[in-house]
Amino acid sequence: MIFAVMFSAINVIAQRPPVISSPDVQADNSIIFRYFSRNAKEVKISGEFLKEPITLKKDTSGIWSVTVPPVTPDIYPYNFTVDGVGVADPNNTHIFANERFKRSIVEVKGNKPLVHSLQNVPHGKVIYQYYDSKALITTRQLLVYTPPNFDASGKTKYPVLYLIHGGSDTEETWTKVGKANLIADNLIALGKAKPMIIVMPYGNVRPAPMPDFTKDVVNDVIPFIESNYPVKSGSENRAVAGFSVGGGQTLNIGLTNTDKFGYICSYAPYTATEEFKKNFTDWSPDAEKINKQVKLFTISVGTDDFLYESVKQNIAMFNEKKIKVNPLIVSGGHTWMNCKLFLAMSLQEIFK
């Protein structure tokens, strides 16, 4: 009786588009992408596993599809372009956390676990919380990774990595796209990384100028973390890392505070900012002092990165100023695939 009445509800739900599976990763690492539209004239897919967009084909039920040949196991951003309009994959829950575009991400697992895969190891937690930023006169959210078997009693103290996202990314991009938490879980389980806290602040400061973010990190974020988590003191227990605009922020934050950061890891830094110009144009550093304070200063970049030439110039500048820098030059572009690699390298080098 009661179920007859519910028929209207079922009908409403039945009017939804058909349940289709996309992306559908196959055993051979090929990927089937599907998109439902009866009315679209053209559906294409662009992905960081493709050199150029490819066109999907429509079947009689309105489901467009294409099979992308086997790709190297990794996590890739992609989007559809439907009659010229870029859209995230409506059937994929996993969205690239970003303020300027809406792309989806697809994980191609392959048959051996990668450093960023969800593996059968003890897992840490990712904590979302608010803090008051006096520098920015607002309440902001940040993410805090605590390692597996984290001792909340305060008896065990941990070193801290401050990890900054790219230009239009958000405080969630390092976990949602960069899998920083899983990379840390896996490397800690292997004994290759020290148990550490990773703090992921929100780095976009608009319209305020960049230096305000340096102030926010140094005067607000660090004291907030150190008064709320069991943290080891001293610059040898503090690292800063970041990608793209966040890589530029890393250089500014780290190199203007070498008494506070023993490790500075800059990934494909974008440095054409007022703050960088102000800090480094007429910079005459006490290189000997900085080289003593900073235990590791790395700059990483891919040879296909659109910033490759400018990053090389950065490295040359630091060499010229006698600042010891370890370059890591790999293949690939300005991508989060490379970001994961760079982070995995850094986690094995810091706090040791």
- 284 makes contact with a second copy (CB under 8 A): no
- 123 makes contact with a second copy (CB under 8 A): yes
- 286 makes contact with a second copy (CB under 8 A): no
Q: How far is the CB of 212 from a second copy (least distance, A)?
A: 18
Please say whether the beta carbons of 250 and 240 come within 8 A: yes
Residues 174, 180, 181, 182: is their CA dihedral positive or negative?
A: positive
Site for a second copy in 257-276 (CB under 8 A): 270-272
Relative to beta strand 160-164, strand 63-68 is unpaired
Nearer to a second copy, 84 or 191 (CB): 84
Alpha helices in 94-153 (DSSP H): none
Nearer to a second copy, 128 or 322 (CB): 128
**Structure-token pair, residue 281:** 């144009």
Nearer to a second copy, 191 or 207 (CB): 207
Q: How far is the CB of 216 from a second copy (least distance, A)?
A: 18
- 283 makes contact with a second copy (CB under 8 A): no
- 53 makes contact with a second copy (CB under 8 A): no
Name the segment binding a second copy (CB under 8 A); options: 67-75, 158-166, 189-197, 310-318.
310-318
2 SS3 class: helix
Nearer to a second copy, 5 or 27 (CB): 5
- 310 makes contact with a second copy (CB under 8 A): yes
- 249 makes contact with a second copy (CB under 8 A): no
- 12 makes contact with a second copy (CB under 8 A): yes
Nearer to a second copy, 2 or 27 (CB): 2
What's at 106, amino acid-wise?
Answer: V
Q: How far is the CB of 49 from a second copy (least distance, A)?
A: 21
Q: Whose CA is closest to 268, among 296, 302, 318?
A: 302
- 2 makes contact with a second copy (CB under 8 A): yes
Alpha helices in 177-298 (DSSP H): 180-189, 211-215, 222-228, 245-255, 274-280, 287-293
67 SS3 class: strand
- 137 makes contact with a second copy (CB under 8 A): no
Site size toward a second copy (CB under 8 A) is 62
Site for a second copy in 173-212 (CB under 8 A): 175
- β-strand partners of 242: 164, 266
Residue at token pair 């008896």: 155
Candidate residues 314, 335, 338, 346; the one interacting with a second copy per rule CB under 8 A: 314
Q: Whose CA is closest to 50, among 66, 27, 26?
A: 66
CA distances (Å), origin 99, targets 137, 168, 173, 202: 21, 5, 10, 12
Query: Cα-Cα-Cα-Cα dihedral of 250, 97, 344, 260, to 10°?
Result: 30
Query: Could you tell me which residues come within 8 angstroms of residue 150 by beta carbon, excluding any fewer than 6 positions away?
Result: 124, 125, 158, 195
Binding footprint of a second copy on the chain (CB under 8 A): 1-3, 5-10, 12-13, 16-17, 19, 37, 39-40, 82-88, 90-91, 93, 95, 97-102, 118, 120, 123-130, 139, 152-153, 167, 170, 175, 270-272, 277, 281, 306-307, 309-310, 313-314, 317
